[in-house]
Every structure is written in C-alpha cells, then in structure tokens.
Structure 1
Amino acid sequence: MEDNRGGIEVETVKRNTLARQVVERIIQLLTSGQLKPGDKLPPEMELIEMLDVSRPVLREALSSLETMEIISRRPRGGTYFNSKIGSKPFSLMLALAAGNLPAIIEARMTLELGLVTVAAEKITDEQLRQLHGTIEQIARSTDNNYGEADKEFHRIIALSANNPIVEGMIDSLLMTHDKMNSHITYRERDVTVQFHTNIYEALARRDPHDAFHHMYRHLKYVRDKLLTAQT
C-alpha cells in the first residue's frame, strides 16, 4: 500500500521490526529523489498516517536517524534531512547492517585497502612519525589493552589520504573498527606490531603495492580470526 500526500509517496510498513522499517522508508524519500539533503520532512502526524505506525515507533525511528546524523530535529522548527548527508556515505548502511559481521568486515576491507594505497603517495613525514608512535604504544602494552592505539594507527592512515571526499568515509571506517574490536576475545600484541610495522615500512617507502599487500594480510588475519570465533 502506498499513500500520497503533497506529492510525497512512501510505503506503509509491516508490523514486525517497525522502527527499522520506518528508518528505511524515510531514507527512501532521499534515495528516490522526492526529498533532498536540507529538505524538511513532513510533520509528525502526517508521517504517522503515511506510514501507518504509532507515535512511539516513529519517534524511535527518528531518534535512530538523528543518531546516524541523517536528520536534525529543531525545537518548534520541524525535522530536516541534514545538508551534508553525502559526507558520510557509508554510515547509514553500516548502521542498518549492524548484525552482519561478515559484511561489516568486508566494508572495512573495501575502505581501508583503497585508503592505504592513496596514503602511500600522500602521507607526510609527520604522519609517519605519528604512525610509528602508535606502534611503539602497542609494543609497550603489558595488558594487551591497546585497542585505542590500534584504532589511531588506522585513523592516521585514513587521514593521510588528504581528500575532502574521502574524509566522509573515515567515521564509517572507525565504526567498522569499533564493531570488529567488540568481537575480539583475545589480542596478540606481537602479531599486531608485526603487521603494523610491515604496513608502516611500506608507507615510508611510498610503495602503494606493498602497502596494499601488507594491509590485506593484516585485515584478512583479523577477519579469519573473528569469523572462526563466530562458528
């Protein structure tokens, strides 16, 4: 069933997983081109009628969209799609696929393998110094609690690509890192140090092929470790 008010068409939703379906239907307003970034959404009561859901379900969905930075709600001013949605192109899909660990791992590999090859050509001496510093932090770790230093290593590489479009992917990359990190049951400090050192040395040589190779070996190792633990 579809409803049409004011030229906007949106499908009503089924009674299971209502809030998630509402999120998807509202996003369809963007993907279909009926509304654009920066546009105002229909009023709450109109959305309730169009989607055939209760107010609590709609508000739960709107809260999720706000958390994902897809919309902004202004006191007494209505709800708007954020004007810079396109700057974070993967955050929405990562949120919707929150329970699909294999897909999240593949998304991270897709992003990071591309970023590391660009980084090999553009990384600065200062960023290389910072990168080496994170490796030293991990190597000095005595309790294997080096998750933040690990994350910083990958963040520096992403930032070193120095591309305003790519910048929108960095938060998504870190989201995948956090999600994978939450599934790690044991850490291997020396293994991590070796992988990171290999990547660092390839970047220091400005060798994109070697950087890609060592990053792939690193991420594949983590992927296999996590997926084996899931079985």
Structure 2
Amino acid sequence: MGTGPKEVTMKSIKRETMSKQVVDQIIELLTSGQLHPGDKLPTEAELTDKLFVSRPVLREALSSLETMGMIQRKTREGTFFSNKIGSKPFSIMLALSAGDIPAVMEARMSLELGLVTMAAEKITASQLEQLAEILRATALSKQGYVGLDKEFHRTIAYSANNPILEGSIDPLLNMFDEIEKQIPTVDRDHRATMQEHQAIFEALQQHNPLAAHSAMYHHLNHVRSKVLKSLG
C-alpha cells in the first residue's frame, strides 16, 4: 500500500529578497558593460517586463539604489546611473550587500572607528563648534533626531579630512538611515544617544584619538545591538 506524498518544508520568498535580486540585476548592467555611469536606465515598464517583478518591488529596489547614490531620478527625463559611480566602487559593493545588515553595521563601525581617530588629530575649532551646535539641537529635539544623528557622524567623518574615505561615508550613512527607519520609535534611546555623543565630542575636544576610538566603539556597538535586536 503506497503512502501519500511526504510533507516538505520550504522557505517563502520574502519581498526584500526579490528587491535585492532586482538591485543585483540592475548593477549587473554596469558591471557587464552594457551600460555605463551617466547612462539612462530602461523605463520602469521595460524593467518590470524584463525582470518579471511587480512595480512595487522594482520601485523598492530603485529607492535603495537612489539612497546609495547609484542612480538619479530626473523628472520627465527618466532614471540615470550616477556619473561618479566609476570612481566609487564602494557604492557598488554596498549595493550588492544591501540585505546583509550585520555586514553593513560592521562596515560602518570599521570606517567610523578609523575616521574618528584621524578626526581627533585634525579637527578644527570651527568643526568642534559645529558638533556642539548639533548636540544642542539634539538636546532640544523631542523626536525626529535621526537626521541630527547622521549630521553628527558626517561632521566627524569630514573633519578627518581624507578625500579617499569621504566618498564612502555618505552612502553608508544613507543606507543606515533606511535601516534605522525600520526600528520602532519606542526602541530608540534618545538619552543614551545624547550621552554617547557627548563622550565622543569631549574626546575630540581633547584631541585624544584613543578616547575618541573607545567612545565611538561604545556608541556604535550599542547601535548595532539595538538594530539587530529590533530587526531580528
């Protein structure tokens, strides 16, 4: 007597996985040489037909690419690859790793820990005043301080005064912005962020690279734990 079919377990295809595959396919147009920096992409209708995906999935992928500075959307003209992609392979690597949140977090930590030590040596009085102004604005902000948080980190990165690394920090912070939007507001600890930013600021003010590195690691490790816990 035969038995019925065995029960099997399969993972459902998540929407973000489809979006990531679309990102990979669009980047493939560049890496394969079919299109070049500055070239116009096919229309949304053409892309949905070629990729066999829905319009919402395609738009999600295009939004990710735009956030990372890979593409630019021009009203009435269409979507174009950025002219600067050729000089920023980091953006391509970041786009390909978009769904790997732990890797994005580690990349951010590695980059910012190096930048903050350089910043401690090079930061100017006017840049310190910029940071102090951001801290004051953050203290007055009851909610929606995410933009100020990004500006705090960007200011430190640029005060390291290294043009090679400056091209990497913006797409990384922009991508992290998109990740952080998924964290429920109740899980964001405004007070802890303020205290951690203050410790980083004081280390920079003292031009102490080791203290700046330690304070930045403490802050970003806390952010990493919060993000992974919220999204896991």
TM-score range, shorter chain: 0.5 to 0.7
The one-letter code matched in structure 2 to 1:132 is: A
Tell me which residue corresponds to 1:168: 167
Unaligned runs of 5+ in 2: 1-14
- Separation in 1, partners of 2:18, 2:175: 25
The one-letter code matched in structure 2 to 1:64 is: L
Over 3 Å counting, the alpha-carbon distance change for 1:221 and 1:30 in structure 2 is same
| Secondary structure at the counterpart of residue 150 of structure 1 | helix
TM-superposed deviation, 1:81: 5.5
After the TM superposition, which residues 1-231 of structure 1 pair with which residues of structure 2 at under 5 Å, given as runs? 21=21, 23-25=23-25, 27-28=27-28, 30-31=30-31, 37=37, 60=58, 64=62, 67=66, 69-70=69-70, 82-141=82-141, 143-182=142-181, 183-184=183-184, 185-231=186-232
Over 3 Å counting, the alpha-carbon distance change for 1:114 and 1:24 in structure 2 is same
Over 3 Å counting, the alpha-carbon distance change for 1:125 and 1:138 in structure 2 is same
CA displacement, residues 14-72 of structure 1 (integer Å, 9 cap, x when unaligned): xx97775465355346546787656899x99xx99xxx757999xx59x8397355467
Over 3 Å counting, the alpha-carbon distance change for 1:101 and 1:55 in structure 2 is closer
The one-letter code matched in structure 2 to 1:110 is: S
Normalized against structure 1, the TM-score is what?
0.68
Over 3 Å counting, the alpha-carbon distance change for 1:125 and 1:97 in structure 2 is same
Over 3 Å counting, the alpha-carbon distance change for 1:70 and 1:178 in structure 2 is closer
The one-letter code matched in structure 2 to 1:108 is: R
8 Å Cα contact 1:151-1:177 kept in structure 2: no
- Separation in 2, partners of 1:119, 1:221: 21
The one-letter code matched in structure 2 to 1:102 is: P
RMSD of aligned residue pairs (Cα, Å): 3.9
- Separation in 1, partners of 2:156, 2:97: 25
Tell me which residue corresponds to 1:5: none
The count of aligned residue pairs is 209
8 Å Cα contact 1:113-1:212 kept in structure 2: yes
8 Å Cα contact 2:94-2:172 kept in structure 1: no
CA displacement, residues 94-143 of structure 1 (integer Å, 9 cap, x when unaligned): 444443322222222122112112211221110101101111222233x2
Percent of aligned pairs sharing the same letter: 51
Unaligned runs of 5+ in 1: 1-15
